[in-house]
Structure 1
Amino acid sequence: MGGAVRILRLDLTAKDLRAAAGREKDGSAARRMLALAMVLDGMDRKSAAESCGMDRQTLRDWVHRYNAEGLDGLHDLKTPGPTPKLTAEQQAELAKLVEAGPDPARHGVVRWRRVDLRDELQRRFGVALHERSVGKVLAKLGYRRLSVRPRHPQADEEAQEAFKKNFAATVAAQLPDRAKDKPIEIWFQDEARIGQQGTLTRVWAKRGTRPRAPRDQRYEWAYIFGAVCPQRRATAALVLPAADTDAMSMHLAEIGRRVAPGAHAALVIDGAGYHVAARLSVPSNITLVRLPPYAPELNPVENVWEYLRGNKLAITVFESYDDIVDKSCAAWRFFADDPERVASITSRTWATVIP
């Protein structure tokens, strides 16, 4: 055992060390600070060490660290851990590989599995990893397994980005003269078919089991025509037996009644045939703004349908058409009666109200 080592640092007194120990979240470091404070108060090294749960030699080692580094030296050093098998450059290439997705003709799969990426890493870099290790690397890079959103093969992403970027100007250009000096509300509209041949959803179940749920196999349905104004947290909806021009005209009339008095609504809709029919009846306080083709992801009402199917309308057996109507109305009220939920699901930063 080596001889005693003096505490050479005198920038902190015993009182200062005790105060630092009281603020310290690391219990081991706090005990070392208290042991040094006892030594500075004149206690012998052996007693100071034992009172703080260490032997005299260990205290001597911590004195060395304290002399060299101050309070920071009283913390345990973090071990660097094993060297990653994939270099930073290889991890970056893995990220690009995940973003690009597999080539079905070349890789034989339509989505990456960990085992596929394991084999590709072995082929590209000669690095052998277990598929669980591949999963850990992906998690470190910020990747998770997520449900994909559908995208129409003819969707034009540049047109969609241009629509968002120029949204305010697009709306302003389409407003009639009678709306120029009025407050402008941005509304979104869409419709969804609800009924038998319903949908399933995710549920909590034990790992390895296949939970079962009822699914109707009959063919009655109705349509929810829904519209939202995210800024006002306002909604307008009808449940109708068909989706056609007459039904759309009825919904437009309902939306017109929900627009604030003295305001004008810019109603964002898709290009469905009955949305653009010549005989469509559009109220005077509404201007229709059409989305780019094949761009449902720009319409937040699509997210409302997803929310309602996942929380109110999935795993449901409808006994009759009237039952479909009743449950569809109840589901919409469940959504519309919570203004914060309306704003949370449907607000879009690019859809700004025109001054």
Structure 2
Amino acid sequence: MPQRVEQLRQAYPQAQVEVWAFDEHRLGLKPIIRKVWAKRGQRPSAVVQHRYQWLYLYAFVCPHTGQSEWLILPRVSVVWFNQALQVFAQAAGAGADKQILLVIDGAGWHRAKQVVVPEGIHLEFLPPYSPELQPAERLGQLSDEPLVNRKFDDLDALEETLASRCLTLSAMPQTIRGHTLFHWWKEE
């Protein structure tokens, strides 16, 4: 990755170069159950109603700054990935003056021939079977917090809670940075 950053700096000497990471996270009406504290002698209860309807959280993060961009979309596919890239490029200001190296996994919809990469975005694929190398993978823990041990009546209620959490996380760059800036992730 440092070589790729250097290549971008040489190819675009007048532009700022940033390294971001991206991952999708599936969330749905099937509850996320975690352990909870309870008084001695009492058993905690969690309302569970297994329903298999999903939303996908598209998360972009700059580990150096903790800046993040979030999108909640109905599914994962090339079409939705293209849309997410467009929205991200616009929100991050990618273009002639700002080049972004986006680290992503090798999912089929990321590598498809139909992927349209916006100006100023350059995709860097991780090696197969290496989720531990992906900083954006850790954003799932943070986004899940208000959803744990809760039952939602429908996807709209889930989306409302998730959108609120994403806004909160966007205002917490130090927390995001603490979860995503790996010790080996080189300074830009």
TM-score norm. by structure 2 comes to: 0.88
Deviation at 1:334, TM superposition (A): 2.2
Contact kept? 2:24, 2:59, Cα under 8 Å: yes
- Deviation string for 1:10-62 (max 9, x for gaps)? xxxxxxxxxxxxxxxxxxxxxxxxxxxxxxxxxxxxxxxxxxxxxxxxxxxxx
Asked if 2 retains the 8 angstrom alpha-carbon contact of 1:186 and 1:353, the reply is no
Tell me, yes or no, if the aligned pair for 1:189 and 1:268 is still in contact at 8 Å. Answer: yes
**1:203 offset after TM fit, Å?**
1.6
2:21·2:136 contact (CA, 8 Å) conserved in 1?
yes
Q: Distance in 2 between matches of 1:312 and 1:298?
A: 26
Alpha carbons 2:20, 2:103 under 8 Å: kept: yes
Cα distance in 2 between the residues matched to 1:313 and 1:340: 22
C-alpha distance after superposition, 1:190-231 (max 9, x if no partner): 011111112111222235654221223112211111111122
2:135 aligned partner: 300
Say which SS state the counterpart of residue 50 (structure 2) adopts.
coil
What residue in structure 1 maps to residue 173 of structure 2? 339
Give the alignment of 1:107-122 within 5 angstroms.
none
SS of the counterpart of 1:318? coil
CA contact (8 A) 2:63 2:135 kept: no
Equivalent residue, structure 2, for 1:273: 108
In structure 2, relative to structure 1, the CA distance for the partners of 1:253 and 1:223 (3 Å cut) is: same
Contact in 1 for aligned 2:29/2:155 (Cα 8 Å): no
> Any idea what the Cα deviations from partners look like across 1:148-178, whole Å, max 9, x if unmatched?
xxxxxxxxxxxxxxxxxxx3124434x3975
Higher strand share: 2
Report what 2:122 is aligned to: 287
Root-mean-square deviation over aligned CA pairs = 2.1
Asked whether the equivalents of residues 185 and 353 of structure 1 are also in contact (C-alpha less than 8 Å), the reply is: no
Q: How does 1:184-263 map to 2 (within 5 A)?
A: 184-207=17-40, 209-260=42-93, 262-263=97-98
- What is the alpha-carbon distance in structure 1 between the residues aligned to residue 22 and residue 114 of structure 2? 19
Q: What TM-score do the two structures reach when normalised by structure 1?
A: 0.49
Higher relative contact order (CA 8 A, sep 6+): 2
Which residue of the other structure, out of 130, 136, 147, is the alignment partner of 1:313?
A: 147
Instruction: Identify if the C-alpha distance between structure 1 residues 215 and 302 changes in structure 2 by more than 3 Å, giving closer, same or farther.
Output: farther
The residue matched to 2:33 in structure 1 has which SS?
coil
Q: Which residue of 2 aligns with 1:329?
A: 163
Residue 344 (structure 1) shift: 1.3
CA contact (8 A) 2:143 2:162 kept: no
State the distance in 2 between where 1:218 and 1:320 align.
Answer: 10
Q: Judging changes above 3 Å, is the alpha-carbon distance between structure 1 residues 250 and 353 closer, same or farther for their aligned structure 2 residues?
A: farther
Partner residue of 2:6?
Answer: 172
Unaligned regions of 5+ residues in structure 2, if any? none
Q: 8 Å contact 1:269–1:289 — kept in the other structure?
A: yes
Unaligned runs of 5+ in 1: 1-166
- Rg (Cα) greater in structure: 1
TM-aligned CA distance change 1:296 to 1:207, over 3 Å: farther
Which range moves more in the overlay, 250-259 or 183-192?
250-259
1 CA distance for matches of 2:23 and 2:41? 38
Give the Cα separation in 1 of the matches to 2:40 and 2:18. Answer: 47
**Aligned residue type for 2:149:** I
281-290 vs 342-351, which moves further: 342-351
